[in-house]
Chain A
């Protein structure tokens, strides 16, 4: 029995065996067209919308990286901030000291993210489930304290490497083929292109035999090991790929934001990433992207209000109780039942289920 049979049977219950079905791809294509056309409109109406949406793109890429390892291989990483930050700091140091060329900085961020992930992954795979999450959390927090106390500077005997809690600031934007990407619009398109490209790569990977093995590991890793796969190696490779993407997101974030700071490495960044992924709908690839969009949007629009966390928290609570599969779930329900009446009934059903579960 091959792994394909195993997964095939597992997944035959769901109508689709392909990650991102044709209709979803069509939808994504439409969203891409909208995204491409959005910038010129924003330029006229309110240029800072591009800033917000670029912010969304970068975190969407970050969320995509987690979904690949979490949604597909079932590895809940609570330490993705480590790779995000490592890639970010690498980009900042390169831009400050060597070059701002995107063709050098972004690949470097990818490599640094991958190396950090390979080390953390290699050390952590023997732990399962929540323990894996906690081990990755511990490693990420180690990175945080290393950056916060600027231990590299102490070891190298120089004044500053990570520059402690002040972080690295005033990072200039990337250059691409000699052009400056500093304007809102050029960075918008750069981020959009990278996000789209990485989505394509991840979709291919998820649909490849490698991706099938990962899904099988998620479903039942003992059986996959039993048919002769080296489960740990698959997990490490998946984690490394995911880390490379997180590093890329960090490398893209730093020039955009002009700072590399310890908050990139803090556990709350990892936590926020998990929230984005679950809120969007894990294992769907496009869901976490939508989740990242929603979280960034909410944080931005609420933050002018005092103690806005109250409302953000309530949104999370309500969504997780009534829309457990996140935005992806809501979308699927709406697509299957396009009539408003049916939708209302579904909403009623959800309330009834809630009541039954609470007052059973």
Chain B
């Protein structure tokens, strides 16, 4: 069933702050095998002009995707989450996320479409720090595949 168009433009309340820790950044950098010292060594980060270690560019997705869960799991929207795959992802950075940041995410539904039985949802997450300054915007396109797919799942693309 096609999703309700009236959800376009709906904004959800800001999330509780997520406190970015040095060790969480280190764990993430190790998981993606990235040895850039700006992620683990405060002195290296300072040499680049940052107050503390910074996070790899895609780190913030963990926070924005969790926030998008408010939308995805909104019972009124009625998205079948078990059929959701990640279509597109885009970030616009004002500054890198850094250790010590306390980040809140405000999610807005930008578009709701139905194509070939698939429901497509575009969610924008605005990430702000404790001072209220904008840090990064994340755009996430989610595709809920049709219950009776007309083509193999693998052709639909990568999953979240």
Q: Do A and B bind each other?
A: no
- B residues at A contact (CB < 8 Å): none
- A residues at B contact (CB < 8 Å): none
